[in-house]
Amino acid sequence: MKKKLLALLMGTSLVLAACGGGDDEAKENTGDKETASVDAEQIYNEKGCVACHGGDLTGGVGPDLTAAGGHLSADEIKDVIVNGRGSMAAQNVSDEEANALADWLAAKK
């Protein structure tokens, strides 16, 4: 009985120890201020861009974005994201997210 209890306690300790922290890579420490790094592809998927532009950026309801940087600058892409264009509504993203998305798409030529 004592061995079973000891094994249970040790197992629980291991599980709890493994659950702590874990997102140290997702944050950068800049002095006293901690900021989360921005993953443009993750934002693209989470904010619903994928619904219109497709998981592979080839379009569907929305236009093909595989070569968006070939005809729009990062500033122009950000303007479309923030203000919308045509049937695309303005997107609810932070300035940091809009910049990350615009830079990511502008690199696609």
Domain architecture of the chain: domains with CATH? 40-109 (1.10.760.10)
Q: Which of 59, 26, 36 is nearest to 105 (CA)?
A: 59
Structure token pair of residue 99: 């910049």
pLDDT digits (tens, 9 = 90+) for 3-46: 766 665 666 665 555 554 444 444 444 443 333 578 999 999 99
53 is in an annotated binding site: yes
49 is in an annotated binding site: yes
pTM (2 d.p.): 0.67
19 is in an annotated binding site: no
pLDDT digits (tens, 9 = 90+) for 55-108: 999 999 999 999 999 999 999 999 999 999 999 999 999 999 999 999 999 999
Cα–Cα distance, 41 to 75 (Å, whole number) = 18
1 is in an annotated binding site: no
